[in-house]
Structure 1
Amino acid sequence: MTEQQTSGEPRARFEALVHAVAEPLHRFLSRRADADAVEDLLSETLLVLWRRIDDLPTLATASEVDPDAVLPWCYGVARGCLANARRADGRRRRLMQRLTLSQRPLPAAGADHTDLHDALGALRELDREIVLLWAWEGLAPRQIAEATGLTPNAVSIRLHRAKRRLATQLERKNRPGTGHDSGEGRSEG
């Protein structure tokens, strides 16, 4: 068998599989997902089917695709893609809630933290989130890395720099007025 025939065989098998299962999979996903997510879910399912084309034992050749034999396995793949999408959507919603809560000013309980909130607001968004995860949620850099998708080393560096910027900002705000004392620079004479 030539190299071109060998490399074309999985593609032909996949095209035959898609021809047989795309419409039933679309109906399957349409009944289980929001209308605006169906096309993306179908694409993800077909991508997994392409990657796992050799795992489908009943798909012997490109010319012989029995939908009744392959659809149950394809439905299982679609269910997995749907579950992944639902988990990802849940994570996005929880992240949005956390971000929304972190953006609200803390209730004034007697102490004035306006300077701190102003200094936090001056940080870049990702740096602010790292500081808040560290300070408010008590997460270690490796846990923050997991939450943000950064490496633990990158989180440690960003956290160190952000804390240094916060300290500098707060020091500037709490420093007495800048400039010269009234008697400074004058000669007594």
Structure 2
Amino acid sequence: MTSEARRDRLEAVAAEIVEPLRRFLARRTDADTADDVLADTLLVCWRRIDEIPDEPLPWAYGVARNCLANRERSARRQRRVAGKVATLDPPRDRTPAPGAADDAVGEAMAALPAADAELLRLWAWEQLTPAEIAVVLDVTANAASIRLHRAREKLREELRKIGIATGHEGSTEGRKP
């Protein structure tokens, strides 16, 4: 593929994926990190332009997810180093850690394992099908479907624990008293 053809292909793919990826990342991290990870994702797209499938969005979600995971690992390493430095030379004023999620769903999602929460976000926020989720997570469609079912059950249980009725449990519509 010529350099011009590669550029044209990237421009076409980028036009399709940039805004969904921007929303995907904005829901998972702060604005600055989201912009950096989006740039990293586009760089990977450029480097692997010949590998991008005809339906690029699920593939790009997978790339963005991996780029974000790399960024988060780097941030954790930086926090560990900062923690070591803070024990040697503690700061005078400490700010409190961010509080727990404000809403019930956020609280329930926070109680789930990270993999389950991510799966539910892909399904609910990104509105991906199990087959598309399978591409993002690099698993079979059947595995994605099973994991999604289990994650939804875990979320339902977490919501019950905090006193939120799910589904039709609290509905009396259509029933005679």
What TM-score bracket applies, with the shorter chain setting the length? 0.3 to 0.5
Instruction: Give the TM-score taking structure 1 as reference length.
Output: 0.45
Instruction: Give the TM-score taking structure 2 as reference length.
Output: 0.48
